[in-house]
Chains A and B, each alone.
Chain A
């Protein structure tokens, strides 16, 4: 009985720690997009006639940069909302 409680506790703690680690992935895209936007502003300042091209390229680049953030976010939410229930069912 005590062993079951301990196992459940360790499982929940693992899920919470894993979710926290997964959500760290959200930091990277924010920094990267900030740098991309800063560089794009400089580029537009230098060549205002390229505004359309820069915006279009930056839009696609930022969307790609967000991929890791979305992966991490989805993984974190699954570890918080879905994984504990599955593990608890398994442990009984």
Chain B
């Protein structure tokens, strides 16, 4: 299945946002740890943050592929059922990911859970910076 250019563009935006957010998270964590915060900084923090950002991006990718499939068919009932199924599986995947991060002590679950909200943060930042090119073109003057 080939991705639409608009969908590809949003995936790139969200991927960039997730990468930038991960860098900010790890840098902030290291800085706070150096300034004497009660939590330590080790190699588990960047590892968990990268995995969390990857999980968040994959969740967004799953949403994008599903929505593209729905808009290609333009069938309302089929679209509803497809998006509900997709949401169920994506939530299960995220849950499994978080459980692995919490249960296995090699990972830091806080550093893994925070990046799950990076796509939403990226969208807020995009709207704040008015970086939503596809919606506004051809709109009202």
Point out residues on A near B: beta carbons under 8 Å: 26, 29-30, 33-34, 37-38, 40-42, 44-45, 48, 51-60, 62-64, 66-67, 69-71, 73-74, 77-78, 81-82
**6 extra A-B contacts, CB within 8 A, seeds A53-B134, A55-B67, A58-B67:** A26-B91, A30-B87, A54-B71, A60-B132, A67-B117, A81-B102
Contact across chains for B79 and A37 when beta carbons are under 8 A apart: yes
- Please name 9 pairs of A and B residues whose Cβ atoms are closer than 8 Å in the assembled complex, sorted by A: A33-B83, A37-B82, A40-B70, A41-B70, A45-B74, A56-B7, A56-B9, A56-B134, A73-B98
Distance to closest chain B CB from A55 (angstroms): 5
Contact across chains for A70 and B94 when beta carbons are under 8 A apart: yes
Distance, CA A33 to CA B5, complexed state (A) = 22
Please tell me which one of the listed residues B64, B76, B94 contacts residue A38 in the complex, with CB atoms under 8 A apart.
B76
Distance, CA A52 to CA B94, complexed state (A) = 28
Number of interface residues of B (CB under 8 A): 44
Residues of B within 8 A of A82 (CB): 102, 109
Residues of B within 8 A of A62 (CB): 63, 67, 83
Q: Majority SS of interface residues in chain B?
A: helix
Residues of A within 8 A of B84 (CB): 30, 33-34
Contact across chains for B10 and A59 when beta carbons are under 8 A apart: yes
Residues of B within 8 A of A69 (CB): 87, 91
Residue on B with the closest CB to A82? B102
Point out residues on B near A: beta carbons under 8 Å: 4-7, 9-10, 14, 60, 63-64, 67-68, 70-71, 74-76, 79-80, 82-84, 87-88, 91, 94-95, 98-99, 102-103, 109, 113, 116-117, 119-120, 123, 126, 132, 134-135, 137-138
Contact across chains for A73 and B67 when beta carbons are under 8 A apart: no
Contact across chains for B123 and A37 when beta carbons are under 8 A apart: no
Distance to closest chain B CB from A22 (angstroms): 12
Contact across chains for B70 and A67 when beta carbons are under 8 A apart: no
Given the interface contacts A30-B87, A60-B123, A60-B132, does A38 sit within 8 Å of B95 by beta carbon?
no
Residue on B with the closest CB to A36? B83
Contact across chains for A81 and B99 when beta carbons are under 8 A apart: yes
